[in-house]
Structure 1
Amino acid sequence: MRNILIVCIGNICRSPMAEGLVKAALPDRQVTSAGLGALVGQGADPIACALMKERGLSIDAHRAQQIQSDMCRRADLILVMDGGQRREIEQRYPFALGRVFRLCERSGQDVPDPYRAGDSAFRTSFALIENGAQQWVQRISRVSS
């Protein structure tokens, strides 16, 4: 798994945080993020940036981008935040079937969208993102060893 795509809706909250965590843990991989309804060109949410800084990581340079067919074609693995996003990607890009999974697949949880919901909602989502990212990093590392 060399190319990993992480997807949410706006590409300014959840997927940039997940991208930053996975990229830091797997620096030899191509890790990108995009949104199904991206706020194209917008930076990551300030609360998301602050949470990442608490972990010693910066997503300040992030700019939201819209998911596109070529991104899905290149991706060996596409991680989404919830089942609805998984279904939408599989409907839009049927060739991606079998490569789309929820970030928190193992725990069976969806990552709620914290957009405009305040610090507490971001912290709740971030905890799920961090846990899901760690599980995928471990799995990818085992498969690649």
Structure 2
Amino acid sequence: MAEGLLKQTLAQSAIDCHVSSAGLNALVGHKADPMACQLMMQKGIDISGHRACQLNSEMIRKADLILVMEAFQKDAIEKNEPSTRGKVFRLGEWSHFDIPDPYQKEMTVFEAALALIEQGVAEWAKKLH
């Protein structure tokens, strides 16, 4: 959901960058959750083609900015790749919040996660503009 929203928001703001997503413990090759797809389609964003991939060292080296959902993810990336310090931040960095993973939870949890993602994306778009 975050990748789709960030891509759309940055494109609308005429911010030229490449946005992709990867997980620390990704179910590689799996599609986005049907509830996530449904919520995003309501916003006019089709994420049905998304496939999960695992974050790797090459992605980390190429990235100028890495946004994570939760503080433990930031810590894990920085521990495994000390060179990332200063370029890994939470999506909710500016308002000091984590975004809990809604995977395998009910729709209300997906909706709550999406609301936090929207807030974080809006805040980052302002900072990047």
Give me the TM-score of the superposition, normalised by structure 1.
0.84
In the alignment, what sits opposite 2:64? 76
Question: Which runs of no fewer than 5 residues in structure 2 stay unpaired?
Answer: none
Task: Give the CA RMSD over aligned residues.
Answer: 0.7
Distance 1:69 1:38 in 2: 15
Say whether residues 1:40 and 2:28 are aligned partners.
yes
Give me the TM-score of the superposition, normalised by structure 2.
0.94
Question: Which runs of no fewer than 5 residues in structure 1 stay unpaired?
Answer: 1-16
Distance 1:60 1:100 in 2: 27
Distance 2:7 2:37 in 1: 15
1:95-136 CA-to-partner distances (Å, cap 9, x unmatched) read 111000000011111101111111000001110001101110
Say whether residues 1:137 and 2:121 are aligned partners.
no
In the alignment, what sits opposite 1:122? 110
8 Å CA contact 2:102–2:110 kept in 1: the answer is yes
- Residue 93 of structure 1 and its aligned partner are, at CA, apart by 1.0
Say whether residues 1:25 and 2:9 are aligned partners.
yes
Compare the two structures and name the one with the higher strand fraction.
1
In the alignment, what sits opposite 1:98? 86
How many residues of Structure 1 are paired with residues of Structure 2 in the alignment?
125
Q: Percent identity, aligned pairs only?
A: 50
Distance 1:46 1:52 in 2: 10
8 Å CA contact 2:9–2:121 kept in 1: the answer is no
Say whether residues 1:56 and 2:50 are aligned partners.
no
- Residue 61 of structure 1 and its aligned partner are, at CA, apart by 0.4
Q: Runs (4+) of structure 1 moved beyond 4 Å? A: none
Distance 1:74 1:93 in 2: 13
